[in-house]
Amino acid sequence: MAGGIEPVHDPGTVDADTAADAFARSGARVACICSSDKLYAEQAEAVATALRQAGAARVFLAGRPDAAQQETYRRAGVDEFVFAGGDAVTVLTSVLDRMGVA
């Protein structure tokens, strides 16, 4: 749990379809894609697009890709990137505000 936000870790193996299905069933409004750079290169665009189509109001990606990759991921639906050294307080505050948490 980060900042009072409980993650959903279902399913264990993820592709765009299973991520979208799990997201839709979770009742969540915010998603964070968490994986390795290798899997991001293979699946992040499709997963971000599928999460948006499943109703995600905001999509985060855990990591700090280069500028070209960031632009590609943003076009696919990623809103923000969270990474070590980033402003975690601002990101968490923004998410909690969007969720309507006082």
Domain boundaries, the chain: 16-99
What is the 3-class SS of the chain, one letter each residue? CECCECCCCCCCCCCHHHHHHHHHHHCCCEEEECCCHHHHHHHHHHHHHHHHHCCCCEEEEECCCCHHHHHHHHHHCCCEEECCCCCHHHHHHHHHHHHCCC
Confidence (pLDDT) at 98: 77
Per residue of the chain (102 residues), give pLDDT as tens. Answer: 455 556 666 656 678 999 999 999 988 889 999 899 999 999 999 999 999 999 999 999 999 999 999 999 999 999 999 989 988 888 888 888 877 776
Q: Say which CATH architecture domain 16-99 belongs to.
A: 3-Layer(aba) Sandwich (3.40)
Confidence (pLDDT) at 52: 97
